[in-house]
Structure 1
Amino acid sequence: MRSTLKMPKVGDAANEVVIMELLVKVGDAVAEGQNLFVVETDKAQLEVPAPFAGTVRDILIKVGEEVPTGAPTLVLEA
């Protein structure tokens, strides 16, 4: 089953974050809780973990891109 992961709300006031680093690539197998990418808010840098184990099928974000809460980030296949 493929699921498109959405940008979670990462802070109380942050509705948009900047992608600082991608920690996976297409084809990578990831474990539940493994960090997928690093984002930056106006106050901190945070790592975003995988909600379930699977294989990365598509990456929909780029380093340096501003991404709003709820926007698609990547496709993970369980």
Structure 2
Amino acid sequence: MTTDILLPSSGMGIEEATIVGWLKNIGDQVSEGEIILEVETAKATVEVEAPASGVLATIVATEGQTVEVNAVIGTIES
């Protein structure tokens, strides 16, 4: 089963964020709730947690890329 990793809304009217860096690589094991990347909004740097446990299968949004809230930024295979 594949779980999409979505750019979460941090509130405060933020509609997009820039990927600061992934803390995991494709093929790495991840646990639900584990911090897997950091993104920067206009107001703060935010840590993003894995929505499921499994293997990081894809990285759609790479470092330096700006993406909209709720966009798919990667996937996890369980």
TM-score above 0.5? yes
Report the residue type matching 1:71 in the other structure: A
Figure out how many residues of one structure are paired with residues of the other and give that number.
78
Q: Does 1:73 align with 2:76?
A: no
TM-score calculated relative to the size of structure 1: 0.92
Q: Which runs of 4+ in 1 moved over 6 A?
A: none
Report the residue type matching 1:72 in the other structure: V
Report the residue type matching 2:9 in the other structure: K
Structure 1 gap segments, 5+ residues each: none
CA drift of 1:46 comes to 0.7
Aligned mates of 1:51, 1:58 — CA distance in 2: 14
Q: Report sequence identity in percent.
A: 33
CA drift of 1:3 comes to 1.8
Equivalent position of 2:49 in the other structure: 49
TM-score calculated relative to the size of structure 2: 0.92
Aligned mates of 1:29, 1:52 — CA distance in 2: 11
Quote the RMSD (CA, aligned, Å). Answer: 0.9
Q: Does 1:63 align with 2:63?
A: yes
